[in-house]
């Protein structure tokens, strides 16, 4: 009976959050860690806002693959560019990413009219509980809803999922000790400088014993003049044989700054962000910063973008006629190198035959050239239009024919063997024997001594 009672009363992380209560996660540092307190830490707020604002501001569009090539899917559903009619695209996708980063899950409520998606709302993940029904389908119990919802009503995008689980792992819960340390260091730093911890100490009075009231008055008088950052660097004056002996250390001696930098580095690792983007330069050069930025896009942002793309592509496929369509964010702007590197890459692409002139101009936001040749791919080496690519092979065949005829082979047979067209000869002797300008076209034989 007791086992059954405890089974019914057992509380889980999801059930407490689904009830709408503020679940408090205690840490060894003595701080309370939840989504709200974690978001108050400068490094965590900076990391989450940096990722969410970077991704949400990128261009997004719908595409479909036909015959192995990617083409824009049209008409694109309105909800892709305006998911929530009451807010901006950036705010909507930004809140999806914030939920994904802190809670490890993003829940989007889908509203339909006559089967067509008309609006999307990002839900508070703490109000959603997930479970599977008897046939293995995922069901969502959302606070405020009068019935369980299905995947037709809720789009669920998890971050990191443990095997056998449905709900994504919350960073706030999994990294509560790291986040708790950051919160504790921030609180301690505020008190350290706000209360003037650097000047705290002991007042020794050599004029005899003080009563409790006299000691309290001396303490209060001293603190009122020297405690707090507003009273810092004021000169202390003691009389009657009293001396002041500090008992605390300054921030540098206590390694407070190093500890805070370590906490920032921990947050950077937790969100896969290069430390310099959170203010930890650590003597990095321009080249290393540039490479770290590119690596961040590849290993930090792309996995998050890929998860969001997969979730909304699944939603897009529910649209009639969009069974093979998908949603894609454009990360090219974040991967753009410096000007010289881009121009060098464009030149290689143009000469290698996978860029056209107008392709390059579009990438640089330039007006296209109104000429068919600007939309024509050029072949490698010769840099000519694809339609004229046979010129290169014909040139090699002509060289071979010239060499064979010059050593005595029959010209007609040579042309046939090389697959070259039969061309009539002008009748003029080879210019190797006589310059053309000295030959009479009406009587080419006249310049030669026939007898000799």
Supply the pLDDT for residue 452: 47
Per the DSSP assignment, residues forming a β-bridge with 154 are 109
Task: Tell me the domain boundaries of the chain.
Answer: 13-195+248-336, 337-388, 389-447
Supply the pLDDT for residue 66: 81
pLDDT in tens, 218-260: 777 777 766 655 555 566 666 666 776 665 555 555 556 677 7
Dist. CA 253–CA 303, nearest whole Å = 41
Residues 138, 141, 147, 150, Cα dihedral to 10°: -20
Supply the pLDDT for residue 362: 78
Supply the pLDDT for residue 408: 77
Phi, psi (degrees; rounded to nearest 5) at 142: -110, 130
Supply the pLDDT for residue 208: 64
Q: What is the DSSP letter of 123?
A: P
Per the DSSP assignment, residues forming a β-bridge with 122 are 108
Which ranges of the chain have pLDDT less than 70?
1-26, 28-29, 191-203, 205-208, 210, 225-241, 244-257, 281-290, 333, 335-339, 365, 379-392, 426-441, 444-452
Dist. CA 238–CA 335, nearest whole Å = 64
Supply the pLDDT for residue 207: 61
Query: What count of residues does the chain have?
Result: 452
CA distances from 111 to 84, 138, 153 (A): 10, 18, 7
CA distances from 231 to 219, 246, 253, 294, 304 (A): 15, 16, 21, 47, 48
Token pair for 235: 């000169």
Going by C-alpha positions, the residue among 45, 51, 39, 105 that lies closest to residue 273 is: 51
Per the DSSP assignment, residues forming a β-bridge with 62 are 327
Instruction: Please report, in angstroms and rounded to a whole number, the separation of the first and last CA atoms in the chain.
Output: 130
Class of residue 44 by CB neighbours under 10 A (exposed 0-12, middle 13-18, buried 19+): buried
CA distances from 118 to 44, 337, 429, 442 (A): 34, 39, 82, 85
């Amino acid at each position: 009976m007791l086992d059954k009672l405890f089974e019914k009363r057992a509380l889980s992380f999801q059930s407490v959050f689904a009830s709408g209560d503020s679940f408090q996660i205690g840490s060894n540092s003595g701080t309370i860690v939840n989504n709200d307190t974690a978001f108050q830490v400068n490094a965590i707020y900076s990391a989450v806002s940096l990722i969410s604002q970077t991704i949400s501001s990128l261009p997004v569009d719908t595409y479909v693959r036909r015959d192995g090539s990617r083409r824009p899917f049209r008409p694109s559903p309105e909800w892709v560019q305006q998911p929530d009619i009451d807010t901006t695209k950036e705010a909507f996708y930004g809140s999806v990413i914030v939920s994904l980063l802190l809670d490890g899950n993003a829940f989007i409520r889908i509203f339909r009219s006559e089967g067509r998606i008309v609006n999307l709302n990002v839900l508070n993940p703490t109000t959603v509980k997930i479970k599977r029904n008897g046939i293995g389908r995922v069901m969502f119990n959302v606070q405020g809803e009068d019935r369980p919802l299905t995947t037709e009503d809720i789009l669920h995008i998890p971050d990191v999922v443990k095997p056998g689980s449905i709900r994504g792992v919350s960073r706030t819960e999994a990294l509560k000790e790291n986040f708790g340390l950051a919160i504790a260091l921030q609180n301690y730093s505020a008190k350290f400088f706000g209360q003037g911890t650097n000047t705290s100490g002991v007042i020794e009075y050599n004029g005899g014993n003080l009563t409790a009231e006299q000691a309290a008055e001396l303490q209060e008088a001293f603190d009122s003049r020297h405690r707090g950052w507003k009273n810092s660097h004021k000169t202390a004056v003691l009389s009657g044989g009293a001396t002041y002996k500090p008992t605390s250390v300054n921030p540098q001696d206590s390694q407070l700054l190093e500890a805070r930098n370590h906490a920032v580095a921990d947050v950077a690792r937790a969100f896969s962000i290069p430390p310099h983007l959170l203010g930890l330069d650590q003597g990095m050069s321009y080249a290393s910063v540039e490479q770290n930025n590119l690596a961040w896009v590849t290993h930090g942002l792309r996995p998050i973008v890929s998860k969001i793309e997969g979730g909304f592509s699944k939603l897009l496929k529910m649209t009639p006629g969009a069974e093979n369509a998908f949603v894609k964010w454009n990360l090219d702007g974040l991967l753009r190198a410096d000007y010289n590197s881009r121009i060098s890459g464009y030149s290689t692409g143009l000469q290698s035959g996978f860029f056209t002139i107008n392709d390059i101009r579009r990438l640089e936001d330039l007006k296209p050239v109104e000429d068919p040749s600007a939309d024509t791919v050029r072949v490698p080496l010769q840099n000519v239009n694809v339609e004229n690519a046979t010129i290169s092979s014909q040139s090699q065949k002509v060289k071979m024919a010239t060499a064979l005829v010059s050593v005595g082979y029959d010209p007609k047979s040579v042309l046939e063997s090389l697959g070259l067209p039969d061309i009539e000869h002008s009748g003029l002797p080879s210019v190797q024997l006589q310059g053309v300008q000295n030959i009479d076209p009406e009587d080419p034989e006249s310049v030669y001594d026939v007898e000799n």
